[in-house]
Amino acid sequence: MSDSTTKGKKTSTKKINELKSRIEELEEQLREKNDALLRSYADFQNYQKRMERELENKAEEAKRGFIEELINIYELLKEAYEDKNPKEGLKSILKKIEEIFEREEIKPIDCIGKSFDHNLHHAVSIIHDKNKDNIIVDEVKRGYTVKGKLLRPSLVVVAKQKEEE
């Protein structure tokens, strides 16, 4: 064998060994990245399950709180029903409900005499009035907001100017 052939084989063998070494390094990096990804995925799944449990617990707590308030109102109603002067009992019930409304930021929508707003009101009837247009003249059922967001629209009667024929 010639000297150049031997040199070529040594160079080729050296390159092959370098490439094999590089492949092994890349495979190790890939294994490490894959392990890290699997750990991250497992952590995320655990986080997701923990959040679901916390949401369920919070919903259960809210439900229990609501039931407690309902029981208090029920007991007040029962006392008022059995009382010789139920008006006082009814006042205490209304006061308790108003306290709940205040605490939960439940507010009635003031609408009579105001302009009709389809975001807050639902017109159940229209009357014709030559002096008023798009003004609420009666409230059939009161509407409410909770923390500034609509809970229930007001059912209203709206005055509209009659168009000339």
pLDDT of residue 162: 77
What is the spatial distance between Cα 77 and Cα 80, in angstroms, rounded to a whole number? 5
CATH number, domain at 155?
A: 2.30.22.10
- Which domain range does residue 118 map to? 107-165
pTM above 0.75, yes or no: no
What is the spatial distance between Cα 73 and Cα 71, in angstroms, rounded to a whole number? 5
pLDDT higher than 90, residue 89: no
Tell me whether residue 139 is in a domain.
yes
Residue 20 to residues 14, 17, 26, 117, Cα–Cα distance (Å): 10, 5, 10, 75
Mean of all residue pLDDT scores within the chain: 91
Tell me whether residue 120 is in a domain.
yes
Residue with tokens 């006082």: 88
Tell me whether residue 131 is in a domain.
yes
Tell me whether residue 94 is in a domain.
no
Name the domain count of the chain: 1
Q: Which helix (H) or strand (E) holds 37?
A: helix 3-82
| Confidence grade of residue 159 (pLDDT, cut at 50, 70, 90) | very high
pLDDT of residue 85: 82
What is the spatial distance between Cα 53 and Cα 50, in angstroms, rounded to a whole number? 5
| Confidence grade of residue 112 (pLDDT, cut at 50, 70, 90) | very high
Q: Of 19-28, 66-75, 76-85, 135-144, give the lowest mean pLDDT range.
A: 76-85
